[in-house]
Structure 1
């Protein structure tokens, strides 16, 4: 086979591999091996015999010229190349699942599905208004929203489980695989109930805050890491008494009935602040939070529903003057 004009040999080799050698059963087996680490179990899950599964793996290793799995007494363990191929195989199958779902929804008269992951702050206003705008333009569209940390959501985005993420890119190794449209940063305040012992106090010290009972996000979130770093940088132990949650409603409920404290953007509890149910302490945390934004996969073609949601998000951000003022120059 001759190399197509204006195509480099490496690209041509990739095209030959995908179109001539790679089969759907390869993808299914790779994903099952990633789940089970046993050729016997993976072959059964992929509805193959063990010899057939072994031949498929050997065929892939021969064509690619790399070892994909290390054979061990209790099963197999993917090499770095194997892990990469397993992840890509999972994305490919997720895309086919999404295509089948789109077709099924269209045939049933529904308008498609879009899956969004979001950190909490954008959901307080930006995401809610964008969904309202999206719904006004689409018929019978299904929107699924998941809340978690940026790291876990970006991983799910790369795996094809999410269409869009409102969050941050924390892993620099993922940057070449992603598109990022910055929105704004987050200013965090210490929020408590009006009758809290520290409410109304001036001259608060970080040492006093370290002795409080805190509501904190999960370990691995950017806020949790930077709060910990803030205390340690001042020679203080991080708060020992904590409740770990991403639920704003639970945090508000706990603040109303206890002397706990939490660091939150005002946007998440603006209604409670305006009504006097909660107050912000006069203390500047001085935390530098990374800009969050809309994250999509590089080179990935969004479904019509996901594209419509992306447009709604862009228009919502553009129509919000406060976000434009706070957005850092890039």
Structure 2
């Protein structure tokens, strides 16, 4: 028979304290955030331990550390309280008539190819919806999604994250290409370039473990080639672009991103060159991600449906 924590007296005040302890190493800091005294926080901890029949924390040189039971319980409390917050937003948005704020996360390629066109349509049909977009690597987006700072993301579950924390709807693979500055020596060669043509140059790559870096390294191994000898590592696409434009370095990026910067809307050349090559680059499938058990608010559903409509339309054309 499972332990019924509610029947045994677990309250919202207990959940709030445990959620704060997930991010604080001192009981006094967690108490201060909640606006209670340290003795009151200690009493709540004692009640939690009585209700659960387990130790929640132990003292260490850094203050306090949650036990395995305490950590697992705290993580659940964070998610439960986030659902309460989402429920409040749900009510507000129903009362306001489909207005409200939505926070989206996306890796770079889908952000430009799908999220941006979807937002254009939403601004036309639902101008009362405010939207923020966080573009970054999947590991950063996953943490933001877990913390409730994002409603959903178009990204991947990081290899070091528990997939059970997310609801995942696989979408599309992300083709990638090599890019360089306009006038780069490689732009004067006949295309497609040989896979080893890039090795004499500096490379700009995301951190080790990033999907596009893994893709490039595996493609070079499959071609029987060594890995790049000179690599500048950065997670910033803006810094990558600036480096490419000002040096002879080369970099792999999503094809949709490369095309956006290689061609202006009027058809004129852009600020970078796409280097077609025999190096096959296709990053692993990205997904539509939400927190496990999360119910999107009505306004988030409106935005999510439009983003997915654009992605599905592109897939059917392909």
Same-fold call, TM > 0.5?
Answer: yes
Deviates more, 1:55-64 or 1:226-235: 226-235
Residues in 2 aligned to 1:72 and 1:243: alpha-carbon distance in whole angstroms: 36
Task: From 134, 146, 152, give the equivalent of 1:164.
Answer: 152
Distance change in 2, residues 1:177/1:74 (3 Å): closer
Residues in 2 aligned to 1:272 and 1:32: alpha-carbon distance in whole angstroms: 44
Task: From 233, 249, 265, give the equivalent of 1:260.
Answer: 249
Distance change in 2, residues 1:178/1:282 (3 Å): same
Matched, 1:191 2:179: yes
Q: What is the aligned length?
A: 311
Partner of 2:269: 276
**Secondary structure of the structure 2 residue equivalent to 1:195:** coil
Q: TM (normalized to structure 2)?
A: 0.83
Residues in 2 aligned to 1:309 and 1:36: alpha-carbon distance in whole angstroms: 34
Distance change in 2, residues 1:268/1:288 (3 Å): closer
Residues in 1 aligned to 2:259 and 2:68: alpha-carbon distance in whole angstroms: 47
**Secondary structure of the structure 2 residue equivalent to 1:60:** helix
Residues in 2 aligned to 1:99 and 1:242: alpha-carbon distance in whole angstroms: 45
Unaligned runs of 5+ in 2: none
**1:189, 1:284 within 8 Å by CA — same for their partners in 2?**
no
Partner of 2:316: 324
Matched, 1:111 2:99: yes
Distance change in 2, residues 1:256/1:71 (3 Å): closer
Task: From 121, 126, 129, give the equivalent of 1:141.
Answer: 129
**2:49, 2:56 within 8 Å by CA — same for their partners in 1?**
yes
C-alpha distance after superposition, 1:176-220 (max 9, x if no partner) = 332222221112111112421222435855555233222222444
**2:202, 2:248 within 8 Å by CA — same for their partners in 1?**
yes
Residues in 1 aligned to 2:61 and 2:113: alpha-carbon distance in whole angstroms: 54
Distance change in 2, residues 1:32/1:271 (3 Å): closer
**1:210, 1:231 within 8 Å by CA — same for their partners in 2?**
no
Distance change in 2, residues 1:19/1:139 (3 Å): farther
Deviation at 1:98, TM superposition (A): 4.1
Distance change in 2, residues 1:140/1:176 (3 Å): same
Distance change in 2, residues 1:139/1:99 (3 Å): farther
**2:177, 2:253 within 8 Å by CA — same for their partners in 1?**
yes
Distance change in 2, residues 1:271/1:160 (3 Å): closer
Deviates more, 1:164-173 or 1:231-240: 231-240
What does 1:57-72 align with in structure 2 at a 5 Å threshold?
A: 57-72=45-60
Partner of 1:301: 295
Deviates more, 1:172-181 or 1:156-165: 172-181
Task: From 123, 136, 139, give the equivalent of 1:151.
Answer: 139
**Secondary structure of the structure 2 residue equivalent to 1:179:** strand
**Secondary structure of the structure 2 residue equivalent to 1:17:** coil
Distance change in 2, residues 1:80/1:240 (3 Å): farther
**Secondary structure of the structure 2 residue equivalent to 1:21:** coil
C-alpha distance after superposition, 1:6-43 (max 9, x if no partner) = xxx43xx4xx4136522222122223322221223323
Matched, 1:23 2:11: yes
Partner of 1:286: 280
Matched, 1:33 2:27: no
Distance change in 2, residues 1:182/1:34 (3 Å): closer
Deviates more, 1:259-268 or 1:170-179: 170-179
**Secondary structure of the structure 2 residue equivalent to 1:125:** helix
**2:90, 2:298 within 8 Å by CA — same for their partners in 1?**
no
Deviates more, 1:145-154 or 1:77-86: 77-86
C-alpha distance after superposition, 1:146-188 (max 9, x if no partner) = 0111122122212222111101123486333322222211121
**1:178, 1:295 within 8 Å by CA — same for their partners in 2?**
yes
